[in-house]
Structure 1
Amino acid sequence: MHDIADLAGSAHDLNASTVVEALLERETLGPTGVGHGVALPHARIAGLEEVLGVFLLLEKPIDFDAVDRQPVDLVFALLAPEEAGVEHLKALALVSRTLRDPALCTKLRANRDAATLYTILTEAEAVKAA
Structure 2
Amino acid sequence: MELSSLLKPAAVRVLGHATSKKRLFQDLGDITQSIYGLEATATVDALQERESLGPTGVGHGVALPHARLEGLDHVVGVFLRLEKPLDFDAVDRQPVDLVFALFAPKDAGVEHLKALALVSRTMRESSICAKLRANADPAALHAVLTEARSNQAA
TM score, norm. by length of structure 2: 0.83
In 2: Cα distance, 1:128 partner to 1:21 partner: 35
* 8 A contact 2:38–2:71 mirrored in 1: no
User: Aligned match of 1:30 in 44, 54, 65?
Assistant: 54
In structure 1, the residue matched to 2:131 is 107
Structure 2 residue identity aligned to 1:92: L
Identity across aligned pairs (percent)?
67
In structure 2, the residue matched to 1:67 is 91
Instruction: State yes or no: 1:3 paired with 2:23.
Output: no
* 8 A contact 2:78–2:100 mirrored in 1: yes
Deviation at 1:103, TM superposition (A): 0.8
Structure 2 residue identity aligned to 1:119: A
TM score, norm. by length of structure 1: 0.98
In 2: Cα distance, 1:111 partner to 1:35 partner: 20
* 8 A contact 2:132–2:144 mirrored in 1: yes
In 2: Cα distance, 1:8 partner to 1:64 partner: 20
Structure 1 residue identity aligned to 2:148: A
In 2: Cα distance, 1:124 partner to 1:100 partner: 12
In 1: Cα distance, 2:104 partner to 2:54 partner: 18
In 2: Cα distance, 1:10 partner to 1:106 partner: 28
In 1: Cα distance, 2:152 partner to 2:66 partner: 23
Other structure's SS at 1:68 match = coil
CA RMSD of aligned residues (A): 0.7
Structure 2 residue identity aligned to 1:21: D
In 1: Cα distance, 2:109 partner to 2:40 partner: 23
In 2: Cα distance, 1:59 partner to 1:11 partner: 22
1:22-45, Cα deviation, whole Å (9 max, x unpaired)? 000000111000000000000000
Structure 2 residue identity aligned to 1:37: G
Deviation at 1:8, TM superposition (A): 1.4
Other structure's SS at 1:99 match = helix
Relative contact order (C-alpha < 8 Å, sep 6+): which is higher?
2
How many residue pairs end up in the alignment? 130
Deviation at 1:6, TM superposition (A): 1.2
In structure 1, the residue matched to 2:12 is none
